[in-house]
């Protein structure tokens, strides 16, 4: 575990170090109803951007296992051009103002929404925060002619076990849902923000990560 407790629990069954323990609501924090509440809040946040949801006509048949190409299909040609760029090319395109940070963010929000509809891959969604950050970055570039850092305007998703200030860090454990709100960013998230990255979602952990129970 990192010395500042950026991720992984201090001991099995306890929230990670550096997280605020939220007082239990009327319903036990260990109940499935608490998980349902978290899922409903995530759905509410995504539904605020209804134009990006996967339409029934685009949904794959139940027997289709490989859906990796589908998130790109509903995107516009310009959006596909954005999300297909590697990090270096994308940061350069923003720097020379081929794309704005807001336009890039919205393209990534769009594809993330479709991926969520297909695979349930997102644990936390905060598009509003990401959009505000992208707007700040565009304003800075317009005003100064300089980027904030090497990742200026580049959207970055964060794994669920890594702290993002103000958001849950359940790490895939049902018993932590709703009581593991980060009071600070992890060091890596702070570095990404300082470099100009736009943090906009947290994504599910692979099952093998759950073997990490602290030491």
Q: Give the E-state strand segments of 2-72 in sequence order.
A: 19-20
Percent of the chain as helix, strand, coil, to the nearest 5: 45, 10, 45
Residue segments in the chain with a per-residue pLDDT below the cut of 50 = 1-5, 10-12, 24-29, 215
User: Domain limits of the chain?
Assistant: 28-51+70-207
Residue 203 confidence (pLDDT): 94
Contact call for residues 171 and 7 (beta carbons, < 8 A):
yes
Residue 43 confidence (pLDDT): 82
Residue 179 confidence (pLDDT): 78
What angle in degrees, to the nearest 10, is found between the helix axes of 87-95 and 101-119?
Answer: 140
**How far is the C-alpha of 139 from the C-alpha of 164, rounded, in Å?**
24
Please state the separation of Cα 81 from the chain's center in Å.
21
**How far is the C-alpha of 165 from the C-alpha of 19, rounded, in Å?**
9
Residue 83 confidence (pLDDT): 97
Strand 181-182 and strand 122-125: pairing? unpaired
């Amino acid at each position: 575990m990192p010395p500042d407790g950026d991720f992984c629990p201090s001991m099995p069954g306890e929230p990670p170090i550096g997280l605020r323990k939220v007082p239990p609501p009327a319903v036990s924090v260990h109940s499935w109803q608490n998980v349902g509440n978290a899922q409903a809040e995530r759905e509410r946040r995504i539904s605020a951007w209804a134009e990006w949801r996967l339409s029934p006509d685009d949904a794959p048949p139940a027997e289709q296992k490989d859906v990796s190409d589908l998130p790109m299909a509903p995107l516009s040609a310009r959006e596909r051009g954005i999300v297909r760029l590697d990090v270096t090319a994308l940061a350069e395109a923003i720097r020379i103002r081929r794309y704005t940070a807001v336009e890039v963010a919205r393209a990534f929000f769009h594809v993330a929404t479709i991926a969520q509809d297909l695979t349930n891959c997102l644990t936390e969604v905060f598009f509003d925060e990401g959009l505000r950050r992208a707007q700040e970055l565009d304003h800075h570039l317009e005003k100064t002619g300089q980027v904030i850092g090497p990742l200026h305007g580049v959207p970055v998703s964060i794994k669920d076990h890594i702290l993002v200030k103000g958001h849950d860090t359940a790490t895939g454990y049902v018993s932590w849902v709703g009581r593991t709100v980060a009071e600070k960013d992890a060091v890596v998230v702070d570095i990404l923000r300082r470099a100009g990255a736009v943090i906009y979602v947290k994504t599910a952990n692979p099952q093998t990560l759950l073997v990490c129970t602290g030491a």
